[in-house]
Amino acid sequence: MSGDVAAGHPNPRRRWLISAAAYAGGWTVGSLRAGSPATPLTLRFTVFSPRPPGAAAFVAAPGQPPTRLRFYPLARSPRYEYRGPATLRFIAPQDRAPLAEAELPAGVANALIVLLPEEKPAGRWRTIVLEDGETRFRAGQWVLVNLSGLELEGTLNGRPLKPGPGPNRAEAVPRAGQLVLRTRSREATYQALSTEWNLAEGERALLLLLPPLRAGTFAVQHRLLVDRPAARVSR
């Protein structure tokens, strides 16, 4: 059964913070196992945001001028390098007003940092740090990151699938296939997502599931980020 509105269904937009805190396999650990503030970290990272700040920057190393970030609508950003404290701060390039902070896990050399807009205060973003190195997330694999705030289950190429909240483990995935997800409310089942993908040789995929556009609805927003880890090229 498919549909939109169910009275009394919790607003998934208010539950995505809970989803973001339910980590799987050490994928998102920034706020839990950050490196020592006194120990400089070296990190190569990309950024992505479904609704990016108008302009954002970071300081790549102490004493350097801010480096502007470039966001793409359906891909990781160019790769940046950072050396500094375990708290990576994103700022407005003009007046250096704070926009977001990312607590960097010790030992992570490559990361994807997802920026999600906060409901309050306006103009601030919450960050989720995903380990993005090839040893954990290889070509031919996919990672599903469920920030929808909904309990989901469905099928991947006809095989049963029940993603947990937050980042799920990297798994091998067929190069072409279909994902169908559903959710339940008040003893009724609603379709949350139906999407297909087609990966080329050497590519990997990260599927980001976001809350529905409107409270009380069940069609989750999604972004599929595909790249070639060996070539360091996103599309």
Domain boundary among 88, 109, 131: 131
Q: Which of 131, 155, 176 is the last residue of a domain?
A: 131
Position 126, amino acid? R
Shared domain for 183 and 223, answered yes or no, is yes
- % of the chain surpassing 90 pLDDT: 69
Total domains present in the chain:
2
Is there a domain that residue 3 lies in?
no
Structural domain boundaries, residue 65: 28-131
- Buried (b) or exposed (e) across 183-218, using 16+ Cβ within 10 A? bbbeeeebbbbeeebebeeebbbbbbbbbbeeeebb
Please tell me whether residues 176 and 82 are part of one structural domain: no
**Distance (Å, rounded) from C-alpha 36 to C-alpha 150?**
34
Rounded-to-integer distance, Cα 50 and Cα 27, Å: 20
The alpha carbon of residue 220 and the mean position of all alpha carbons in its chain are separated, in whole angstroms, by 14
Q: What is the pLDDT of residues 159-209, one digit of tens each?
A: 999 999 999 999 999 999 999 999 999 889 999 999 999 999 999 999 999
Residue 232: pLDDT above 60? no
What is the structure's pLDDT at 15?
Answer: 47
- When pLDDT is averaged across residues 40-67 and rounded to a whole number, the result is 94
Q: Which one of 104, 131, 158 terminates a domain?
A: 131
Q: Is residue 7 part of a domain?
A: no
pLDDT at 38: 59
Same domain, 121 and 140: no
Question: Is residue 1, in this structure, part of any structural domain at all?
Answer: no
pTM of the model: 0.82
**Averaged pLDDT of the chain:** 84
